Amino acid sequence: MDDLRLVIEKLKDIISEGKEGVKVFDKDVASALTIPQATFATMKKRNSIPYREIMEFCAMKKLSINWLFFDQAIDMLASETDKYFQVRYFPDVRASAGGGAFNFDENYKLLSIDSTIMKNIVSEGTKEIEAITVDGESMEPTLQDSSIVFIDRTQTNIKKDGIYVASTNAGLFIKRIRQRADGMIELISDNKNYSPEYILSEEIKIIGRVVGNIESL
């Protein structure tokens, strides 16, 4: 489904549960997705689907995003596993692009997302990914504050260019990471207002490589 109007109607049905006799409007959907009403109206007019906000809404409500977009129940996915991405989304984990943050825990939501949606978000060939939220502006303009990033936990070799999520004593960081000749690890920000940071190799653990993202509004 690529029609925002149809998605909105299903969201209204969800929001109206337990509110018998109360009419649900577009403004209520915008509020549930934490999108300003004017912005939401523009998105509806342009048929621009807010995937990031819908993903967070589904995680909070424990809904299948495939049901919302394709009327598919979870048990329909078993025979067509290759057509779907299994994403462990950690809504409470914010990996810092500027300072310290929380570590991974077990508080995640398992999302099954159709490949027709994900193929434009993550790198080709990526099958098992995890998703967390960016906190801070030091990776702008590449990654915006509050964006959702998708991490491939199998890619931990920092010799491959890219952006990585790393765990340190100060928390989780999203940075470009390079090992220097003296053995120190350099954490590099894309925002030129932030200077590189340096850390001992034994004080850092590479969580995985960022393979895609959904920008915040």
Planar angle of CA 178, 126, 84, nearest 5 degrees: 150
Q: What is the pLDDT of residues 167-183, one digit of tens each?
A: 888 888 899 999 988 88
Radius of gyration in angstroms for the set of CA atoms belonging to the chain, rounded to a whole number: 19
Reported as a pLDDT band with limits 50, 70 and 90, residue 98 is low
Q: What is the pLDDT of residues 185-207, one digit of tens each?
A: 999 999 999 999 999 988 999 98
Ramachandran class of 65: left when φ > 0, alpha when ψ lies in -120 to 50, beta otherwise: alpha
Mean pLDDT estimate for the chain: 80
pLDDT cut 70: percent of the chain above it: 77
Q: What is the mean pLDDT of residues 94-109?
A: 59
Distance between CA atoms of 95 and 138, rounded to whole angstroms? 12
Give pLDDT, residue 104: 60
Q: What is the pLDDT of residues 71-90, one digit of tens each?
A: 665 444 444 445 667 788 87
pLDDT cut 90: percent of the chain above it: 23
Q: Which domains does the chain have, with CATH numbers?
A: 72-214 (2.10.109.10)
Q: What is the mean pLDDT of residues 136-150?
A: 88
Checking if the pLDDT of 163 tops 80, the result is yes
Give pLDDT, residue 106: 60
Give pLDDT, residue 81: 47
Q: Give the lowest-confidence range in 28-32, 128-132, 140-144, 178-182.
A: 128-132
| CB-CB neighbours of 33 under 10 Å | 18
